[in-house]
Amino acid sequence: MRAEKGNKKIIWFRNNLRTHDAAFWNHIQESDEVIAVYCLEPKWLEPTPYGWKKMEVFRAQFLLETLADLQQNLSKNNISFYFFQTDAVRAFEQIHEVFPFDTIITQAEWTYEEVAVEQKLKTAFPTVAWKVDYDQFLIEPSNLPFSIEQLPDVFTSYRKKVEQKWAVNEVIIKPNVLFKKIEMPFSSTTPSVEQLGYESIVVDERSAFPCKGGESEALRHLKKYIWEHQQITTYKETRNELVGIQYSTKFSPWLANGPLSSRTIYHEVRKFEDEVLENDSTYWVLFELLWRDFFKCVSMKYGNQLFQLSGILNRNYRWKTNEKAINDWINGKTKYDFVNANMLELKSTGWMSNRGRQNVASYFAKEMEQDWRIGASYFEAYLIDYDVHSNYGNWNYLAGVGNDPRDRKFNIDLQAKNYDNFHVFRNLWLTKKAVEL
Ligand SMILES: Cc1cc2nc3c(=O)[nH]c(=O)nc-3n(C[C@H](O)[C@H](O)[C@H](O)COP(=O)(O)OP(=O)(O)OC[C@H]3O[C@@H](n4cnc5c(N)ncnc54)[C@H](O)[C@@H]3O)c2cc1C
């Protein structure tokens, strides 16, 4: 009897929506009864104080595609997946009635909204065991050559230290095992965006990211990018371009909610370097992945300071909240056509290049001096690759309250000249169609 009780496990998916290189496999065995669960928190669909929803339609669509693909992939191992559009405590209470689980397996999260949900679950189910892994890092915290408290505040110092060893774990192999099928009276189907109350969207033909969510699509894209088209060999030269799918890796949307693991990318890049070519570009993709890890470490070190107006530097400036200026920024009506084109791209597709993000954020925070958290919240709602650590870390950085040792302000006219000299990008977005949005 005891053994049976000890074998009921829930894989609680959060931003780890994949089956390849997934740490949850380490905690389940064939004899276990296992189900998988995702809870879409109702507050993600509610308006923020600024008017937009916490998660706008592009992010929602990408997430729903990801969940549908996850369900398919889990079913190959006979693991049933259940979707709840309710908070986790309520969902887990319903599950517990029919499936008295004793173990919750999930990805470690440390930002306050995620921790708050976890705490509520721990209170509601005090005797349940937790198996929690840092499954979103390239180099997980325990493999770093320093403690999180000792994390260097400047990226270059961090990078030089971690590059001495590149302590990246091997990928976790998905077992070829069929679990006992568990049927429960809950929904396995993910809803459509319309069912969640959003307006339908069609992919904008100008989009630089015309891809779908889900690990199947992510792994296809990875293979194409590295092996078939070998775009990785020119990444360093193309990464600052602005038009089309090919200029940068476009890994971020899949990395953000987990359908692609950064360890998988790392090992594929190393394999490509061994078998085909190693150059500055192949290295630079790994360099950029370290930025992603760095901001995760920064948010771990500084906790809630990341979300404060004074940022991780605890630096106080006079910030403004001018509604017209903010709306003009959102709607692409500023004095800079380069900012406008980028903002219209975001509004029509949920995507913006790194070059674009740096410019529009610098303009918002350093030139208009608007409360940078409003800009960050808008990005949070719209970016399909929204990631709490990268988004708030980069906004801190650009607003002058974060990790930029040089505290730069972008010269937007010069940036437009350097990166869009022939107006190809601006012409693409500043057409009548885009302006009428
Ligand atoms: C204000 C601002 C907000 C941002 N918000 C996010 C966000 O919410 N989610 C997000 O994933 N990225 C964010 N970024 C970082 C960066 O713009 C995107 O990761 C990048 O544009 C994604 O495109 P890509 O995958 O083609 O990147 P590539 O240039 O191909 O880089 C490869 C990978 O490296 C990582 N990376 C590259 N640059 C950065 C960076 N500056 N910070 C952290 N990771 C990086 C990403 O995981 C990316 O997928 C933000 C940048 C700025 C300036």
Q: Each residue of 366-401: pLDDT tens digit?
A: 999 999 999 999 999 999 999 999 999 999 999 999
The CATH number given to whatever domain includes residue 289 is 1.25.40.80
Same domain, 382 and 319: yes
Bridge partners, residue 81, by sequence: 36
Same domain, 46 and 102: yes
The protein residue whose alpha carbon is closest to atom 20 in ligand 1 is: 354
Q: For residue 210, tell me if it sits in a domain.
A: no
Report how far ligand 1's centroid is from the alpha carbon of 8 (Å).
Answer: 38
Report how far ligand 1's centroid is from the alpha carbon of 176 (Å).
Answer: 34
Q: How many domains does the chain have?
A: 3
Distances (CA, A) of 259 to 43, 340, 357: 23, 31, 23
| Secondary structure class of 346 (helix, strand, coil) | helix
The count of other CB atoms within 10 Å of the CB of residue 354 is 16
Output the pLDDT for position 94. 98
Contact 314, 331 (CB under 8 A): no
Domain boundary among 90, 112, 135: 135
Same domain, 147 and 3: no
Output the pLDDT for position 408. 87
Same domain, 376 and 426: yes
- Ligand 1 pocket: which of 260, 390, 395 to mutate (most atoms <8 Å of CB)? 390
Q: Which atom of ligand 1 lies at the shortest distance from residue 294's CA?
A: 43
Contact 401, 75 (CB under 8 A): no
Please state, in angstroms and rounded to a whole number, the distance separating the CA atoms of residues 397 and 252: 19
Domain boundary among 273, 304, 335: 304
Output the pLDDT for position 411. 97
Give the angle 37-38-41 at the CA atoms, nearest 5°. 140
The CATH number given to whatever domain includes residue 60 is 3.40.50.620
Output the pLDDT for position 433. 57
Same domain, 143 and 274: yes
The protein residue whose alpha carbon is closest to atom 46 in ligand 1 is: 252
Same domain, 358 and 295: no
Please state, in angstroms and rounded to a whole number, the distance separating the CA atoms of residues 186 and 195: 17
Tell me if 354 CB under 6 Å of ligand 1. yes
| Secondary structure class of 174 (helix, strand, coil) | coil
Output the pLDDT for position 2. 39
Contact 265, 251 (CB under 8 A): yes
C-alpha closest to that of 427 among 337, 343, 328, 333: 337
Please state, in angstroms and rounded to a whole number, the distance separating the CA atoms of residues 299 and 296: 5
ipTM score: 0.99
Contact 20, 70 (CB under 8 A): no
Domain boundary among 260, 277, 304: 304
Output the pLDDT for position 434. 52
Contact 309, 371 (CB under 8 A): yes
Same domain, 411 and 357: yes
Same domain, 73 and 157: no
Residues 6+ apart with CB under 8 A from 73: 18, 19, 215, 216
Structural domain boundaries enclosing 70: 1-135
Q: For residue 181, tell me if it sits in a domain.
A: no
- Ligand 1 pocket: which of 252, 255, 290, 403 to mutate (most atoms <8 Å of CB)? 252
Tell me if 390 CB under 6 Å of ligand 1. yes
Consecutive 10-residue averages of pLDDT for the chain (437 residues): 64 98 97 97 96 97 98 98 97 98 97 97 98 98 98 97 98 96 95 97 95 98 98 98 96 98 98 98 98 98 98 95 98 98 98 98 98 98 98 97 91 98 97 57
